[in-house]
Amino acid sequence: MNTHPLTVDIHQDRGGPKQALLEVRELKKYFPVRSTGFSAKPQFVHAVDGVSFSVAKGQTLGIVGESGCGKSTTARLVAKLMAPDSGSMVFDGDGVDEFRGIALKDFRRNLQMVFQDSFASLNPRLTVAQTIAFGPQVHGMGAQEANQLARDLLARVGMEPDQFGARYPHELSGGQRQRVNIARALAFDPRLLILDEAVAALDKSVQAQVLNLLQELKSERQLTYLFISHDLHVVHYLSDQVMVMYLGQIVEIGPVERIYGHAVHPYTQALLSAVPSMDPAQRTLASPISGDPPNPIDPPAGCRFHDRCPKAQAVCKARAPRLLSVAADAAHQVACHLNDPQSGHGAPASSATYAGLPLHEVSA
């Protein structure tokens, strides 16, 4: 049972492991582009374009993709740091759009973010202890209790309270600052942590320590993570599910071992093939991806990956592929005509398999 003093009763049930904590449906966000000339037609960057996914309680969904694929915008939409153009979200069974007053406040408390830039995330005028205690105090916790909470959380993230509590951010290393950011997020007793490139700026040994800490906290506090990273190794380490994005859309999503062991989408295969692996069994045969992503203001018709895809055919330029399940695991879904027997893609279905797995349509 959760006994945190800030907890409001509406989300007491931390639930079974397979129940969805967060469901995202058809989320869209287009950013207007400032007009540069005589063009009368308004233009938009298609940052997030019809993204749907869910994250089960106590699980980690890793989001990967090249820079500009929409993963960080997706995170900000989920955190309600910006409003979507369309789409909806459900948090623990309740529609997020319906949240008002205490329910909205509670949602914001339940969902915390940790960003890549650990220094910019901290107020340089507050000590470490003040930083952690600040949020709970704003939410009504007494000063003494908040200070004790800050000490407890500092100790939990591996920082001696007497040694670090009175320090300022500039007196800490990058790894220590990120631990403080994690402690500050935990001070709200959240249920969902969004980690947006949270370990990207750390050197490898510190990164490993912070990843281990995140793993421990996840099981200890039954946390759910949305973990955004360009580093496929750390995504593999931390994630239960992986979502691959390309130009604002999901191209492949599924259990981590399916994605890393049996990737189907040529883009995912190319991403994985670019990752050096110590294990020959994990190496893919696909060529590394070439070229840059297309202009997100004017995405290509059909499959958005077609001008970089070695398996593209005419149908790929004419029609966008549907996100369909793979036969071996319905939770593994791919948006590629190779995975759609009805698409008219010239390659036989068997050539679309990866590691010999047959593909077939399960959902439309």
User: Which residues would be at the binding site for ligand SF4 (CB under 6 A)?
Assistant: 265-266, 303, 305-306, 309, 311-312, 316, 321, 336-338
What tokens does 273 get?
């093939």
What tokens does 351 get?
């050539």
Inter-residue contact 188 to 141 (CB < 8 Å): no
What tokens does 196 get?
């947006």
Residue number, 15 or 266, with CB nearest to ligand SF4: 266
Residue number, 24 or 334, with CB nearest to ligand SF4: 334
Nearest approach, Cβ of residue 289 and ligand SF4 (Å): 11
CA quadruple 281, 287, 292, 294: dihedral, nearest 10: -100
Nearest approach, Cβ of residue 260 and ligand SF4 (Å): 18
What tokens does 330 get?
């319905």
Inter-residue contact 106 to 80 (CB < 8 Å): no
Nearest approach, Cβ of residue 310 and ligand SF4 (Å): 8
Residue 319's Cβ-count burial label (10 Å; 0-12, 13-18, 19+) is middle
Nearest approach, Cβ of residue 309 and ligand SF4 (Å): 3
Residue number, 20 or 309, with CB nearest to ligand SF4: 309
CA distances to 18, 106, 132, 213 from 8, rounded to whole Å, are 23, 7, 20, 26
Report d(CA 240, CA 225) in Å as an integer: 10
Residue 323's Cβ-count burial label (10 Å; 0-12, 13-18, 19+) is buried
Nearest approach, Cβ of residue 265 and ligand SF4 (Å): 6
Residue number, 151 or 262, with CB nearest to ligand SF4: 262
Element (H, E) at 131: helix 128-138
Residue number, 133 or 338, with CB nearest to ligand SF4: 338
Inter-residue contact 220 to 212 (CB < 8 Å): no
Nearest approach, Cβ of residue 325 and ligand SF4 (Å): 15
3-state secondary structure of 315: helix
Residue number, 193 or 352, with CB nearest to ligand SF4: 352
Residue number, 213 or 315, with CB nearest to ligand SF4: 315
Residue number, 102 or 318, with CB nearest to ligand SF4: 318
Nearest approach, Cβ of residue 312 and ligand SF4 (Å): 4
> How big is the chain, counted in residues?
364
Report d(CA 181, CA 178) in Å as an integer: 5
Nearest approach, Cβ of residue 227 and ligand SF4 (Å): 25
